[in-house]
Chains A and B, each alone.
Chain A
Amino acid sequence: MESSHNAASVPPDNNLVWAILCTVLCCIPFGIVSILKANKVNTLWAQGDHVGARKAASDAKKWAIWGAIIGPLAIIIFYVIIFVIYAGAIFASTY
């Protein structure tokens, strides 16, 4: 942990927490994007490209938010489709 009031010396938030959360909660595809972005933030920051690192960090945040929205949505849509197929099969088998 690093505490400083001088914003120039603190790297931008790379949002790796969301990547880890995605991994342990089964949204691996979004987790992978988050990991790559977090990795890019670190690399650019280490190279001294602070503008690039901030840009990568804001991309990482965008992906984390989209992952949080699309992940559960995709799972729900997936189960709705499965349910429709099962309901259709049960309906068809009664004839």
Chain B
Amino acid sequence: MIEHKIIFAGPTGAGKTTAIGQVSERPPVSTDVINSDARYNKATTTVAIDFGEITLDAGEKLRLYGVPGQHRFSFVWDIAARGALGVILIADNSLPEPMKELQFYLDGFASFVKSGAAVVVVNRLETHPSPSQEDYVNMLIARGTPLPVCACDPRKKEDVLTVLDVLLTVC
């Protein structure tokens, strides 16, 4: 059986845990704890990894790893990224400067981003239409790392499956 490891990364509150929870066949392994950081309006936050599994129609098995968004947990990114096929970078368009925020994760997963083994996903585009999907595409071209950009609601299973499909196509 072919197995692939996929990483979900992006800012705190972007929807990484939600996305994995939507598609995982079994209840995901969760390392969410109570959040004490007033900058984020959320009750819990991931501090180690989320882990979910999904088997595709072709028999491929995907192991889905979500990593914490906060910069202080960047050491987890390197550990989780070992042996991964590709990375899904979720941008949160409700942030004041979502594209600027995304740069940190583009740099944090630079080897995947440079080799094209990554997809940029824009969440909350319906409620926060700017920057547009095209703005993201142009920003990625301008920085010399063109990547597919998808609009996605991580609460919708079909959306997340589509993104996984796009990532497997480019990897």
B and A form one assembly: no
